[in-house]
Amino acid sequence: MASPYPDGDREKVASKLPSALQQQLKVRAAELALDIQEAVEAAITAWRATERPGFEVDTAGAKSFSTWLPPGLYEDFKDTCNTRGVSYIQGLAQSVRDWLDTNPSPQNATRAADPERKIVGNQKGGVGKTAISAGIGQAYAEQGKRVLIVDFDPQGHLSEQLGVPQIEPDHDSLVSHMCGDGQGDLRDLIVAIDDLRFEKRLHVLPACFDGFLLDAKIAVVATQKRGFQKEAALEMALHPLEGDYDVIIIDCPPSLGIAMDAALYYGRRRRNEPPGRSGVIIPVLAEDSSMTAYSMLAQQIDDLCDDLSLDIDHLGLVVNQYDSRRGYVATSTLDSWKAVGDPRVLAVIGDLKEQREAVRKKMPLLSYAPHSDQAEAMRQVAKGASR
């Protein structure tokens, strides 16, 4: 509700806001030398102007909150909430949360607001998505970055290769959080890789068997929950973790379904993010069928960008499991990949034994064989995918 401001140029607005957000808003406004009413005005104005869906904020236990806004702004805000199918309390919480994210504390000015987000995908199986996801994650952790690798493939190869147990069906998991049914803190499911080389900077969010039903589950939620955008489901689940990491890597399933759309959406270029910082890494093979699979994924990316007005950067191709002894098909296809130009080939990784041995021992490649050609190629990919 609203009541007139003593000077007549604003009106008092009474609503509710979680205590934690109220405290963060108070501190951030003071850090930026703003009145709280100015901060809330900017937050609501920006939230109404953006076309991207807001992250659902937990408003349980929200407490009374009031401020002064320009006349008519609160009514316009309520109209936007109704259009988006969210409560006024949820809309205010999203507005404040987004404003805090886009107006970081001056004390943290040296750190980017968002982590780099690397989406490793190809609808063709067996091209090495898991090996490359794990390898570049290890390379970034070697550099001193805090890394989360998300095993987004329900087959769970990445979790298995690093000795991390998968999450059993009907337990709290990434899938339940993506569907809005999370029962706890997603951080409680994350496993740190115990290896001195990475000094506890390398973490894995394990796969879950429920992931086989993810597309169907999200489709149902999208029909039942007003305002739910299925493409934003992964971002909604991972958003609370982002402040803990410098790089988040998504090891995608071999599909072109809703899960892949959600991963691609997560890797889009965000507002004020420089080109080439986040985006898609595409592992391929030097064979004809891989060319067809790449074309299908490229078309999906183009369609998603057109439909939702997104920018999704192609960070590069990785030609994996290459062996010139396979003859003309292998060598000519490699030439074709290099001729693509954009995206460029980040590395050519040979079909060597070290990766398979590391998998057998359930060890990170860069720890098992840190000086191998494959390990050096992973470092090359990580470097090339971070412009």
pLDDT tens readout for residues 165-202: 999 888 899 999 998 888 889 999 999 999 988 888 99
Is residue 205 located within the same domain as residue 354?
yes
Q: What integer is the mean pLDDT of 270-275? A: 90
pLDDT in tens, 23-44: 889 988 988 888 999 999 999 9
Lowest mean pLDDT among 114-123, 212-221, 312-321: 212-221
Average pLDDT on 39-62 reads 84
Domain shared by 55 and 148, yes or no = no
Of 108, 129, 153, the position where a domain reaches its end is 108
* pTM for the whole structure: 0.74
Q: How many CA atoms lie within 13 A of 362 on its CB side?
A: 9
Shared-domain flag, residues 66 and 214: no
Same domain, yes or no, for 51 and 180? Answer: no
Q: Mind giving me the DSSP string for 164-198?
A: -PPBPTTSS-HHHHHTT---S-GGGG-EE---TTT
Q: How far apart are CA 183 and CA 283, in angstroms?
A: 35
Residue 250's closest CA among 118, 56, 74?
118
pLDDT of residue 286: 81
Worst-scoring range by mean pLDDT, 222-231, 282-291, 331-340? 222-231
> Long-range contacts made by residues 358-365, C-beta under 8 angstroms, separation at least 24?
358/161, 359/131, 359/161, 362/160, 362/161, 362/162, 362/163, 363/163, 363/195, 364/134, 364/138, 364/162, 364/193, 364/195, 364/197, 364/198, 364/202, 365/131, 365/134, 365/135, 365/138
Answer with the one of 108, 127, 161 that is the final residue of a domain: 108
Same domain assignment for residues 376 and 272? yes
pLDDT of residue 369 exceeding 80, the answer is yes
- Residue 358: domain span: 116-384
Given a cut of 80, is residue 5 above it in pLDDT? no
Last-in-domain residue among 84, 108, 132: 108
The C-alpha angle with vertex 55 and arms to 310 and 213, in degrees rounded to 5, equals: 80
pLDDT at 89: 93
pLDDT of residue 125: 81
Q: Is the pLDDT of residue 70 over 50?
A: yes
Report CA-CA distances (Å) from 111 to 15, 198, 275: 33, 20, 17
Is the predicted pLDDT of residue 340 greater than 90, yes or no? no
| Same-domain check for residues 61 and 162 | no
Query: pLDDT confidence of 110, banded at 50, 70, 90?
Result: very low
* Out of 115-129, 325-339, 369-383, least confident range: 325-339
- Residues 131, 233 share a domain: yes
Which neighbouring-strand residues pair with 284?
319
**pLDDT, mean over the chain:** 88
Please check whether residues 147 and 281 belong to one and the same domain. yes
State pLDDT tens for residues 75-93. 999 999 999 999 999 999 9
Together in a domain, 228 and 97:
no
DSSP 212: G
Count how many domains the chain has.
2
Q: Is residue 160 over pLDDT 80? A: yes
pLDDT tier, 330 (very low <50, low <70, confident <90, very high otherwise): confident
The backbone region for 341, taken as left when phi is positive above 0, alpha when psi lies in -120 to 50, beta otherwise, is left
How far apart are alpha carbons 372 and 378 in whole angstroms? 10
Q: What's the CATH number where 200 sits?
A: 3.40.50.300
pLDDT of residue 141: 94
100 and 196 in a common domain: no
| Average pLDDT, integer, range 326-332 | 83
Residues 51-61 have a mean pLDDT of 75
87 and 228 part of one domain: no
Residue 387 has pLDDT above 80, yes or no: no
pLDDT digit string (tens) for 123-152?
Answer: 888 888 999 999 999 999 999 999 999 999
Phi, psi of 207 (to 5 degrees): -70, 160
Considering the domain architecture, whether residues 69 and 162 belong to the same structural domain is answered as: no
